[in-house]
Amino acid sequence: MPFKIQYKFNDDPQIYHCVVSYAQYRNFCGLPIIQECKIIKGNETTTKKSLDEIQRALDLAYQKDTSHIRKLAENT
């Protein structure tokens, strides 16, 4: 079940939000560009397309391409 998270990038004081699955949350927390990440709301509704887009951003971030994950963060 998807839930909403709150996170901050390293060297960026702004707080961002997005909706992720539990597996994505675990991967998100493991990104070296993420300073802080926590669950703020459970049982969120989202589309498979949105979760797929987050997964693509996570995959790219692990390959050192952070542009997509930052773009998603700006749109939330």
pLDDT digits (tens, 9 = 90+) for 31-66: 998 999 999 987 777 788 888 998 999 999 888 888
How far are the Cα atoms of 5, 12, 41, 63, 66 from residue 2, in angstroms, in the given order?
10, 25, 9, 24, 22
Structural domain span for residue 27? 3-74
Alpha-carbon distance 48 to 57, whole Å? Answer: 14
Q: What is the pLDDT of residue 36?
A: 92
**Mean pLDDT taken over the chain:** 87
pLDDT value at 74 more than 70: no
Asked whether residue 76 carries a pLDDT value surpassing 80, the answer given is no
Band (70; pLDDT cuts 50, 70, 90): confident
What is the domain count for the chain?
Answer: 1
Q: Which residues of 29-54 are buried (b: 16+ CB within 10 A; e: fewer)?
A: eebeebeebeeeeeeeebeeebbebb
